[in-house]
Each structure stands twice: as C-alpha cells, then as structure tokens.
C-alpha cells in the first residue's frame, strides 16, 4: 500500500470574547477531532481579536503554510463581525452581497424579517463557495483553502458534514491513551527511549489530578495502529517493571 501524503491544517479563532475569557473556546476540540478522522493533522491554532489588519495578516500567513485553514467567528450580523470582509481583503477579491447566500436567507426568513442586519450575513467574497448551515440558515463560505465557519459551537458542528467531501485527507490518525498512577519524572527517561525508537508515533505525556491523586496520561498517535500497539507493549513493559499502576488503557 502506498503512503498518502501528509495533510496539515491550521485554525484561526477570531473574537475578542475568546481573548477576554467571557466565552470559552470549544471549537478547537470539535475541529481537531473531525480533522483527525479525515487524516488531516492540525498543526497550529491562533486566537486573534476582531481587528481587520490582524485577520488579514494571519489568514495570509497560515493559508500559505498549511493545506487547509479554518476560521471560526465573526461572520454574524453585528458591527464587530468583520471576518468575511477581512478574508475578501486577504485574497484581494470583491466583497458584497453574495447572490446565492442572499437567496438562501430570503427563503429562510419570513417576509419582512430579512432586515439589514441579517442581510449582512450574506455579504462575503463574491467568488466564495458556500458552506450550508442546517441549523440557523446563514451559510459559511470558503475561498481556495480557507474555510470560514461561525463561532457558535452547535452551529459550527452541524456544518462540518457539508464540507467533509470537499477535503482531501491522508490516512486517518489513530490514537491510544494509557492512564498511569505516577508522576512524569518517574517515567520520563523510559518514555524518551520509547519515543527515540519509534519516531513514526507521536508520544505525549499529560499530568492529571483526579480524586485527590496524581496521574499521567500517555497519548500515542500515528496513522499506523500496529506501530501504536508496539509502543503500547514497550511502555507496558517498563511500567510493570517499575510497578506503576495502570488505571486504564484504551
């Protein structure tokens, strides 16, 4: 079997409310799990304010760096929703009422409800392709490799199915988590040795504190399940030698 080329993505979270802490970002987790299932590796996440210059610069930097970019937030009806205009400027294309988006929203709202604020949600790069929104009508859009999605988590999640078939992925990324009752310093040297001998598996260790006790989660990630299994065997061996309790392994 021939190896597929690795495909990489970046996420740009846009919104002052995320930076201020008023709103918690959950979209990164949703997008990264979805991307993993498609064999697309998330390499970078940026959280930036609702500032046109910053959005333009960040979009232009990351779209050249990765195969796909996903933006979240800033495509609603209010004055601070400036993502669509900023993306238009990043690509140097005309911005205005998108004919297809206007038609969708006109049909979505009752007569007289499609006011000026709601019409703003149909303003985007005129050459953009739409991402249909089964939850609240207002579409997202994409232009070249930049996909612009809303910030509301439930709406974003409902729109992902509509673009899955537009993305070219690699091999789906497999993962396994080993939860141990230990501290990182106890396993660091042994874990480093396993990583050095298995460079096609990404190994991460993450301390946790549950029920008043410390533990470490070891996460193994690779496109090859057999290589994950090999690492799991090697880690289990040194864990048993050190008489460390394995809480769970899945």
Model confidence over 131-170: pLDDT tens digits?
999 998 999 999 999 999 999 999 999 999 999 989 988 7
Question: What is the per-residue burial (b if ≥16 Cβ within 10 Å, else e) of 121-137?
Answer: bbbbbeebbbbebeeeb
Residue limits of CATH 3.30.70.600 in the chain: 174-249
Which residue reads 């930076």 in tokens?
A: 19
Burial category of 85 from C-beta neighbours within 10 Å (exposed 0-12, middle 13-18, buried 19 and up): buried
Which residue positions in the chain have pLDDT lower than 70? 1-4
Supply the pLDDT for residue 117.
87
Q: Please give the DSSP secondary-structure letter assigned to residue 202.
A: E
Secondary structure class of 21 (helix, strand, coil): coil
Supply the pLDDT for residue 2.
36
Q: What is the mean pLDDT of the chain?
A: 93
Kindly state the percentage of the chain with pLDDT values over 70. 98
- Angle between helix axes 83-91 and 52-65 (nearest 10 degrees) is 50
Does the domain at 174-249 match CATH 3.90.950.10? Answer given as no
CA within 13 Å, CB half, 43: 13
- Architecture of the CATH domain 7-166: 3-Layer(aba) Sandwich (3.40)
Q: What is the rounded CA–CA span in Å between residue 98 and residue 102?
A: 6
Residue limits of CATH 3.40.980.10 in the chain: 7-166
CA within 13 Å, CB half, 153: 10
Q: What is the rounded CA–CA span in Å between residue 125 and residue 123?
A: 7
The pTM of the full predicted model, rounded to 2 decimals, is 0.80
Supply the pLDDT for residue 46.
98
- Spatial neighbors of 42 by CB under 8 A, at least 6 apart, are 8, 9, 10, 11, 31, 32, 35, 36
- Spatial neighbors of 80 by CB under 8 A, at least 6 apart, are 16, 50, 74
């Amino acid at each position: 079997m021939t190896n597929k080329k690795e495909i990489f993505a970046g996420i740009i979270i846009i919104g002052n409310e995320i930076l201020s802490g008023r709103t918690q970002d959950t979209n990164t987790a949703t997008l990264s799990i979805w991307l993993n299932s498609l064999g697309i590796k998330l390499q970078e996440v940026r959280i930036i304010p609702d500032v046109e210059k910053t959005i333009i610069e960040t979009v232009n930097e990351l779209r050249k760096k990765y195969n796909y970019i996903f933006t979240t937030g800033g495509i609603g009806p209010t004055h601070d929703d400036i993502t669509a205009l900023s993306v238009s400027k990043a690509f140097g294309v005309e911005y205005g009422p998108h004919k297809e988006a206007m038609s969708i929203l006109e049909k979505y709202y009752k007569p007289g409800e499609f006011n000026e604020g709601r019409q703003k949600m149909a303003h985007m790069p005129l050459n953009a392709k739409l991402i249909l929104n089964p939850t609240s009508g207002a579409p997202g859009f994409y232009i070249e490799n930049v996909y612009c999605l809303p910030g509301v988590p439930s709406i974003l999640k409902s729109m992902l199915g509509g673009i899955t078939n537009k993305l070219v992925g690699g091999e789906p990324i497999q993962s396994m988590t080993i939860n141990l009752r230990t501290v990182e310093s106890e396993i660091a040297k042994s874990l480093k040795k396993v990583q050095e001998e298995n460079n096609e598996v990404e190994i991460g260790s993450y301390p946790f504190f549950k029920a008043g006790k410390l533990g470490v989660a070891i996460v193994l990630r690779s496109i090859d399940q057999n290589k994950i299994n090999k690492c799991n065997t090697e880690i289990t061996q040194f864990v048993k030698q050190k008489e460390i309790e394995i809480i769970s392994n899945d």
